[in-house]
Amino acid sequence: MVGLSLGEKHFIQGGIDQNLRSDGRKRDAYRPISIETGVIPQANGSARIRIGATEVIASVKAELGRPNALQPDKGKVAIFVDCSPVAEPMFEGRGGEELSTELSVALQCCLLGGKSGAGAGIDLSSLIVAEGKICWDLYIDGLVISSDGNLLDALGAAIKAALSNTGIPRVQVAAGASGDEQPEVDISDEEFLQFDTSGVPVIVTLTKVGRHYIVDATSEEESQMSSAVSVSISRKGHICGLSKRGSAGLDPSVISDMISVARHISEQLINKLDSEISAAEADEDEM
């Protein structure tokens, strides 16, 4: 991990106390964000996002599958994250597995809503092709290429961008299949359905260092955190998921405060991401 001397630690903490962080940012400021879409041509949708020196790629692949017996009217979504050793030698071999799992679980918790599917950022019922028989399975893969803190927010944003870049082929279901038979399908090569991503929440992680919390922490700052709360917030300002990391306990009132701060920050972040995503899509169309 990050090896810091005592002096460096004090410098980081002191900077946060005085609202002037090591890279000149304020506590509530993000590093520059840039988004590129369509970076993986063989996927249905993909995006690369850079936040400072953190870089992640998200890809969305759609495959036809069978809906769950419990929820015959809904498609399925699975999220996996992989931490490439390119980003950090520590991720070599199985070293990245623990972090990958933690990030995957946190993303599932933040984006997929409750068990019944309520509050999910992705409208699962739009993925159904033939009720109870055929649905789209979305495989969302995140890959961390360069890591300098704030991976969860970056992955969340990359997935949001990749989903808005996703086109799902139109499917014709052959009529006449009766009973339990699996109907035949015809997948269109030309017609694609755009995905509605207005409901996909953004993730804002507040990292608590000392008495203050900061957004978009670098890995040096993360090494000094006592705990971090990641809140996923929809455009409407609803909380869609929350997870806490770090070992230190937090007072419940602090958590409520963090949630309201995160909600405030999410408004700016959503606008920023929207404009970046539409700029990226425009760039891609031009090419």
Partner 1 sequence: MASTGGGAPGTYTPTPTKKTQRSSFFSDSDVDWLRPDGRGFHQCRPAFFRTGAVNSAAGSAYAEFGNTKVIVSVFGPRESKKAMVYSDVGRLNCNVSCTTFATPVRGLGSDNKEFSSMLHKALEGDLPVVISCASLALADAGIMMYDLVAGVSVSCLGRNLIIDPILEEENFQDGSLMITCMPSRYEVTQLSITGEWSTAKLNEAMQLCLDACSKLDKIMRACLKEAASASLD
Partner 2 sequence: MEFVNPEGLRLDGRRPMEMRQLRAQIGAVAKADGSAVFEMGNTKVIAAVYGPREVQNRSQQINDQALVRCEYSMANFSTGDRRRKPKGDSTNIACENAIFGCTNHWFMFVMCFVMANESIRRRSTEISLVIRQTMEECILTNLMPRSQIDIYVQVLQADGGTRSACINAATLALADAGIPMRDLVTSCSAGFLNSTPLLDLNYVEDSAGGPDVTVGILPKLDKVTLLQMDAKLPIDTFENVMQLAVEGCKAIANYIREVSFAREYQTAGVSTWLVVHKKGIRAHIQAPTLAWLLLDFQLSSHHLKLVAYTGVATS
The residue ranges that bind partner 2 (CB under 8 A) are 40-43, 46, 53, 55, 57, 59, 61, 63, 65-66, 68-70, 76, 78, 80, 82, 84-89, 92-94, 97, 100-101, 104, 137, 139, 141, 143, 145-148
Instruction: Report the alpha-carbon distance of residue 164 to residue 45 in Å, rounded.
Output: 8
**Min separation Cβ 33 and partner 2, Å:** 15
Q: Which is nearer to partner 2, 110 or 265 (CB)?
A: 110
Number of residues that bind partner 1 (CB under 8 A): 31
- The one of partner 2, partner 1, none whose footprint includes residue 57, by CB under 5 to 8 A per kind, is partner 2
Q: Which of 257, 49, 64, 51 is nearest to 158 (CA)?
A: 49
Structure token digits, residue 274: 């929207």
Q: What is the Cα 267 distance to its own chain's centre? A: 16
Q: Which is nearer to partner 2, 68 or 226 (CB)?
A: 68
Instruction: Report the alpha-carbon distance of residue 46 to residue 59 in Å, rounded.
Output: 4
Q: Provide φ and ψ at 192, rounded to 5°.
A: -125, 140
What is the contact mask toward partner 1 in residues 164 to 203, using x (rule: CB under 8 A)?
----------------------------------------
Q: Are 163 and 122 in contact (CB under 8 A)?
A: yes
Q: Which is nearer to partner 1, 158 or 228 (CB)?
A: 228
What is the SS3 assignment for 92? coil
Q: Are 54 and 148 in contact (CB under 8 A)?
A: yes
Q: Which of 206, 181, 188, 185 is nearest to 266 (CA)?
A: 206
What is the contact mask toward partner 1 in residues 237 to 266, using x (rule: CB under 8 A)?
-xxxxxxx--x-xxxx--xx--xx------
E strands, 1-102, where?
33-37, 45-51, 54-65, 76-83
What is the contact mask toward partner 1 in residues 87 to 126, using x (rule: CB under 8 A)?
--------------x--xx---x--xxxxx-xx-------
**Min separation Cβ 23 and partner 1, Å:** 28
**Min separation Cβ 123 and partner 2, Å:** 18
Q: What is the DSSP letter of 228?
A: E
Regarding 70 and contact with partner 1 (CB under 8 A), the answer is yes
Q: Are 3 and 89 in contact (CB under 8 A)?
A: no
Regarding 130 and contact with partner 1 (CB under 8 A), the answer is no
What is the SS3 assignment for 125? helix
Q: Which residues bind partner 1 (CB under 8 A)?
A: 69-70, 101, 104-105, 109, 112-116, 118-119, 229, 234, 238-244, 247, 249-252, 255-256, 259-260
